[in-house]
Structure 1
């Protein structure tokens, strides 16, 4: 492209120089020739006037007298006077000549000749000047064309590299502009695309991490139920365990749908008025086997018969994250307490462990922040789930740790639990 820009610019300049240069040469040649002819005619007229004046005064007209009136080195003059000898001044030029003639009042005829070589020399000088100017114009045009080509090609090369980086999975915007409106527009579009791609990749990685974390515990529990089914021949036990397994499958489905919903819009919730006791009871029953196997206990206290506004599946996931966090990082008995404050229902989870380190207190809900070898995702996902339904998740105390989930008790503006929720739009085609 650089070569094309340079060649096109030089072609335009050469055409302009050719058109105007040839025209200028023709005009200058004619001007020089006309000027030389006028000079010779003027010289002939001047000599004729001199001869007239001397003849009127009856003065002598001779070669010696007239020789000083003309430049004999470049011009040749012939004065023809009636009834007198022809007077010749100077040396007659050879080759082409420019001739000027004048007629005097006394009948004399004056002819002045000048070699055309003087005109040729003047034309040559003019051509040399025009050629030098044309050469300077070509050089200047070449430098300008190279500069403009570099100015245009370099941004295009940068934009091509940016597009290649986007295609290779590096969506970092460059925020580089080139003071060319059209190229800056392309750069704006590429930077906007890079930011969108970065957000999409971040959302995909976040969804994968959240799904891996949120599905791990339910899948483990489901696997344990299925193992118990395979190890027993008691039909009643099989039915009981299968019923529990189906419940866990429904929870897994709810977890997946919730994760997909949050991946589209983390603020999109499907809050309903539900029985908080049922969710708390279900979580305690699900986690007691894990605590027993660890030699620990999980207990409940506080107010019962509470109703709250939210998504039961999301609230269950938030409680699961808090209980699992106490199992992994806490110690002693875990206490789940429900209470009411103002128009909010509160679920508190605490344990007898060492608590949250002071350097992590303000950042405990950030992703990848963990006090031990864990993903650091659980509490961040739990807070997102709580906020999606208009609730909030907070750490009330670091030592011993107390985490609290605040849910609204006002059912105004939400759907009743029995009303079926609309099916979510499919996200995979």
Structure 2
């Protein structure tokens, strides 16, 4: 592209120089020739007036007197009636420019000048025009190179940016070039890079959330299937199979929830549900794991609480808290329910050492994790809670106490005013 820009610019300049240069040469040549002819004629008229004044005065005209009045390289012939012809200077050879004048006393003056003088002047003029044309060509080449670099370099940068986008590097460059059209393309590429970056972030977040959130249901499901393979009791097999099917349904709900939350974290399907059912479900699923490490998990507090949210999402939040206590806590894990204002609160606590001081409130950040942890569980749990209009907080660090706050106001009354009473 750079070469084409230089060639096209140079071609235009050469065409312009050729057209105007030839015209200028023709005009200057004619002008110089006409000027030389006028000078010779003026010279003849001047000599004629000198001869007239001499004839009227002293009455004698000779070559010596006229030689001082004649310009170099010119030849003059004066013919006075009744007197010999007077010639002044050397007669030029070749083509000449001739001027003729007749005086008042009847004398005739002819002045000749060699055409070579005109040729030399035309040559000097052509040399000047050629130098100007050469300077114009050089300036055009430099300007074409500068303009080509100004246009081709941004296009190269934009091509590299597009290639980086295609190779998975969506960082916007925020580089502008002072050319409106190219800046517009750069704006579009930067906007595309930001959108791709958001999409990749969402995809990576979904993959990380899925890998973390699916681990717990799959582990519980594996435990149930192991129980089925180790027993010959048909009733136990049926019971474990029923629980396994329930866990499969929860696993499906987890996947659907993760997909929905990745598209729009504010999207929720909140309904009114019984907290006891979700809590008892979690207790039943996690007791085998806690018994395996010699620990217990219990529940207490206010019963038969109705809360607003998505049961599957609430179960996942509690599962994340319970698993967190299993991995990092100690002693008995307790789930306590209470009511504060128009909110139902589920507290999860254990008898472990608590949250390290260097973590503190940062424990909900995705990049923060304890030992052998991905640092994703609590962050996902908070997102799930907020998606249904609730919130997840750390109420105490030692011993650790996490609180899940859920609204108790039915969904149909959150955004609609109470109906006016009907008067009968």
Q: TM-score, normalised by structure 1?
A: 0.94
Per the alignment, residue 305 of structure 1 pairs with 304
CA offset at residue 414 of structure 1? 6.7
Partner residue, 1:384: 383
Deviation sequence 1:121-145 (CA, Å, 0-9, x none): 1111111111111111111111111
Separation (CA, whole Å) in 2 of partners of 1:106 and 1:277: 144
2:253 matches 1:261: no
Cα deviation, residue 234, structure 1? 2.9
Equivalent position SS for 1:172: coil
**Aligned residue number for residue 152 of structure 1:** 151
Q: What's the CA shift string for 1:321-343, capped at 9, x where partnerless?
A: 00110011000000100000011
Separation in 2 of the partners of 1:253 and 1:66? 125
Corresponding residue of 2:196: 197
Q: Is the 8 A contact 2:272 2:411 kept in 1?
A: no
CA 149–410 in structure 1, closer or farther in 2 if over 3 Å, else same: same
Counterpart of 2:39 in structure 1 is: 39
Deviations 1:363-403 (A, max 9, x none): 10011311211111100000000000000000000000000
Offset from partner CA, 1:157-198 (integer Å, 9 cap, x none): 111111111111111111111122111111111111111111
Aligned mates of 1:68, 1:150 — CA distance in 2: 65
Q: Which residue of structure 1 lines up, in the alignment, with residue 419 of structure 2?
A: none
Check if 1:113 corresponds to 2:115: no
1:66 is displaced (CA, Å) by 2.2
By how many angstroms is 1:346 displaced?
0.1
Counterpart position of 1:21: 21
2:233 matched to which residue of 1? 234
Q: Distance in 2 between matches of 1:413 and 1:45?
A: 118
- In 2, Cα distance between equivalents of 1:6 and 1:174: 28
2:174 matches 1:175: yes
Alpha-carbon contact 2:300-2:337 (below 8 Å) kept:
yes
Matches within 5 A, 1:38-77: 38-57=38-57, 59-71=59-71, 73-77=72-76
Aligned: 1:104 with 2:98? no
Report the Cα offset of residue 246 of structure 1.
1.1
SS of residue matched to 2:366: coil
Q: Distance in 1 between matches of 2:49 and 2:239?
A: 144
Q: Does 1:400 align with 2:399?
A: yes
**For residues 55 and 210 of structure 1, what CA distance do their matches in structure 2 show?**
124
8 Å contact 1:275–1:308 — kept in the other structure? yes
Aligned partner of residue 12 in structure 1, secondary structure? helix
The 3 A distance-change label for structure 1 pair 414 and 222 is farther
C-alpha RMSD of the superposition:
1.4
Counterpart secondary structure, 2:347: strand
Distance 1:69 1:303 in 2: 135
1:84-99 equivalence runs, <5 A = 84-99=83-98
Q: Which runs of 5+ in 2 are unaligned?
A: 415-424
Q: Is the alpha carbon distance of 1:258 and 1:414 closer, same or farther for their aligned partners in structure 2, counting shifts above 3 Å?
A: farther
Aligned counterpart, 2:221:
222
Aligned-partner Cα distance in 2 for 1:235–1:398: 46
Alpha-carbon contact 2:37-2:98 (below 8 Å) kept: yes
Q: How big is the shift at 1:311?
A: 0.4
Q: CA deviation at 1:205?
A: 1.1
**Structure 1 residue ranges without an equivalent (≥5):** 416-429
Offset at residue 5 of structure 1 (A): 1.2
Query: Contact conserved, 1:272 with 1:414, CA < 8 A, in 2?
Result: no
TM superposition shift of 1:233:
3.3
Q: In structure 2, the residue corresponding to 1:359 is in which secondary structure? A: coil
Shift of 1:39: 0.6
Counterparts of 1:242-281 in structure 2 under 5 Å?
242-281=241-280
Contact 1:344 1:406 in 2 (8 A): yes
Tell me, in whole angstroms, the C-alpha distance in 1 between the residues paired with 2:119 and 2:104.
Answer: 34
Range with bigger deviation, 226-235 or 182-191: 226-235
**Number of residue pairs matched?**
414
After TM superposition, give the deviation of residue 253 of structure 1 in Å: 0.8
Q: TM-score, normalised by structure 2?
A: 0.95
Query: Where has structure 1 moved over 4 Å in runs of 4 or more?
Result: none
Residue 185 of structure 1: aligned partner: 184
Q: CA deviation at 1:58?
A: 6.3
In the other structure, the counterpart of 1:411 is 410
Match of 1:421 in 2: none
Deviation of the 1:242 alpha carbon:
1.6
> What is residue 334 of structure 1 aligned with on the other side?
333
Q: 2:422 corresponds to which residue?
A: none
| Distance in structure 1 (CA, Å) of the matches to 2:99 and 2:145 | 54
